C-alpha cells in the first residue's frame, strides 16, 4: 500500500477560501472513490495569518509546505498587505523561491460549447520561468530588486541566469515530447541584447539535445498578436517570468475565460497548485466565485504527483477532473455566472461532484 500523500492547503484571501473549499471537496471525493491516499492539512496564510500571527506567511506554515508532497494555495490579496517589514510577505512568491518551484506550467485550450475569442482554437501550454526575471521579490539574495536612489528616480533589476534558463528549457522540451513536439521560445533580444541573449543561448543549447522537437523563436510583442491571429500553431511556449505571466493571461482569456485557467508551480521535489487569477475581494463571500481554475490546478497537481510517484490512480483522477469540468462547461445550464450560466460557487461545486460520481 502506498504511503499517504500530504497536501498542504492554504486558503488565501478574498474568494480564496470559497474556491479552495470547492477544490478540497473534489480531492476528497476522488480520494474516496479511487483510494488516492491523500492527507489534507489546512494552514492559514494571507490576511487570516496576519491577524493571528503578525505575518502573512508564518514560518511554521512554510515548514509544513516544505514537508508536504504537494500544496494547494488560494489567491492572495497582496494589495491588502502591509510592508514586508510589518509582516506583509507574498506567500505565493515566497514559496516559489523557498521551495525552488522554477517551472510555472499554464495550459490554455478551447473547450467545447464555450466561445473562444481568437481567430483559431488553441491547445497550448506556457512554460514560464518562475524564480527570477523582473519580479522584485525573486531577483536578489538580500533585499528586493527595486530601489529608489532619490525621491524622483526608481530602478528595477532584472536577473537572468544560465542555470535557470537551462532548466526551464529542459522542462519545456520534455513536456513537448509528450505533446506535438514543438517549442516556441519568446524573447525580446532586439532590445535586451545581453539578458535575452543569455536566455536564447541556453535555450538553443538545450534544443540541440532534443533533435525530435522543433524550436522556433518569437519576439514577445508579435507573440501577443499571434495568439489572437493564429493560436492553433503553438504547442509549448517557453518564456521568461514576466512575459509568461502576461501571455498566459492573454491565452487563457482568448481560449474562453481566465476563470478556466489552471496553473502549477513545479520544481524537482515540490509542486504547488494555484489558480491563475486573483483574489477578487469585491465578490468574496457572495457565492459568485468560479472555482474552475483552482479545481483544474488541483487536477494538475495530481498529475504531477502521478508522474513523480508512478501512480496511475492519480493520473486517472486528473483525467476525471478534466472530463467532468468539460461536461459542465459545454452545458450553459451548468455554468457559473461569469461563463453565462446561473450557478453560484456552491451549486457548481455540487454539480461537479455529481459529474465526478458518474464519471
CB 21 within 8 Å of CB 55: no
Q: Where are the chain's structural domains?
A: 1-113+257-359, 116-255
pTM: 0.93
Query: What string of DSSP letters covers 153-176?
Result: EEEE--B--HHHHHHHHHHHHHHH
CATH for the stretch 116-255 = 3.40.718.10
Give the torsion sign (CA, 78, 80, 83, 85). negative
Give the per-residue pLDDT at 87: 92
Indicate if 116-255 has the same CATH topology as 1-113+257-359.
Answer: yes
**Cβ contacts of residue 138 below 8 Å, gap of 6+?**
93, 96, 97, 130, 131, 132, 145, 159, 241
Which residues of the chain, if any, have pLDDT below 70?
Answer: 1, 359
Give the per-residue pLDDT at 84: 87
In which residue are the cell numbers 519576439 written?
A: 219
CB 315 within 8 Å of CB 100: no
**Gyration radius from the chain CA atoms:** 20
How far apart are alpha carbons 216 and 237 in whole angstroms? 10
How far apart are alpha carbons 43 and 31 in whole angstroms? 20
Q: Would you name the residues annotated as active-site residues?
A: 135, 188, 221, 245, 249
Give the per-residue pLDDT at 359: 59
* DSSP state for residue 92 in the 8-state scheme: H
* Length, in residues, of the chain: 359
CB 296 within 8 Å of CB 262: yes
Give the per-residue pLDDT at 118: 85
Instruction: Quick: pLDDT tens for 81-130.
Output: 999 889 999 999 899 989 999 999 999 999 988 888 888 999 999 999 99
Interhelix angle 345-358/312-329, nearest 10 degrees: 120
CATH for the stretch 1-113+257-359 = 3.40.718.10
Amino acid at each position: 500500500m502506498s504511503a499517504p500523500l500530504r497536501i498542504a492547503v492554504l486558503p488565501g484571501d478574498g474568494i480564496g477560501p470559497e474556491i479552495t473549499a470547492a477544490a478540497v471537496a473534489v480531492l476528497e471525493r476522488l480520494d474516496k472513490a479511487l483510494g488516492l491516499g491523500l492527507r489534507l492539512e489546512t494552514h492559514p496564510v494571507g490576511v487570516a495569518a496576519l491577524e493571528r500571527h503578525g505575518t502573512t506567511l508564518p514560518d511554521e506554515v512554510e515548514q509544513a509546505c516544505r514537508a508536504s508532497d504537494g500544496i494547494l494555495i488560494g489567491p492572495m490579496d497582496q494589495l491588502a498587505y502591509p510592508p514586508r517589514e510589518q509582516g506583509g510577505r507574498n506567500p505565493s512568491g515566497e514559496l516559489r523561491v523557498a521551495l525552488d518551484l522554477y517551472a510555472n506550467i499554464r495550459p490554455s485550450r478551447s473547450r467545447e460549447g464555450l466561445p473562444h475569442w481568437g481567430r483559431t482554437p488553441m491547445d497550448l501550454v506556457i512554460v514560464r520561468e518562475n524564480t527570477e526575471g523582473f519580479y522584485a521579490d525573486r531577483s536578489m539574495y538580500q533585499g528586493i530588486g527595486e530601489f529608489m536612489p532619490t525621491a524622483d528616480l526608481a530602478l528595477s533589476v532584472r536577473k537572468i541566469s544560465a542555470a535557470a534558463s537551462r532548466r526551464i528549457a529542459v522542462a519545456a522540451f520534455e513536456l513537448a515530447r509528450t505533446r506535438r513536439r514543438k517549442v516556441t521560445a519568446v524573447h525580446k533580444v532586439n532590445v535586451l541584447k545581453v539578458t535575452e541573449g543569455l536566455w536564447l543561448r541556453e535555450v538553443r543549447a538545450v534544443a540541440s539535445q532534443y533533435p525530435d522537437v522543433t524550436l522556433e523563436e518569437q519576439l514577445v510583442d508579435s507573440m501577443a498578436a499571434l495568439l489572437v491571429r493564429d493560436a492553433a500553431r503553438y504547442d509549448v511556449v517557453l518564456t521568461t517570468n514576466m512575459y509568461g505571466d502576461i501571455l498566459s493571461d492573454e491565452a487563457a482569456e482568448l481560449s474562453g475565460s481566465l476563470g478556466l485557467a489552471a496553473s502549477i508551480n513545479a520544481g524537482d521535489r515540490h509542486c504547488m497548485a494555484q489558480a491563475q487569477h486573483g483574489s477578487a475581494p469585491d465578490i468574496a463571500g457572495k457565492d459568485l466565485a468560479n472555482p474552475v481554475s483552482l479545481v483544474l490546478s488541483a487536477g494538475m497537481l495530481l498529475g504531477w504527483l502521478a508522474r513523480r510517484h508512478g501512480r496511475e490512480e492519480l493520473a486517472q483522477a486528473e483525467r476525471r477532473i478534466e472530463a467532468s469540468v468539460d461536461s459542465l462547461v459545454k452545458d450553459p445550464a451548468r455554468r457559473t455566472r461569469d461563463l453565462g450560466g446561473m450557478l453560484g460557487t456552491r451549486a457548481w461545486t455540487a454539480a461537479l461532484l455529481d459529474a465526478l460520481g458518474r464519471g
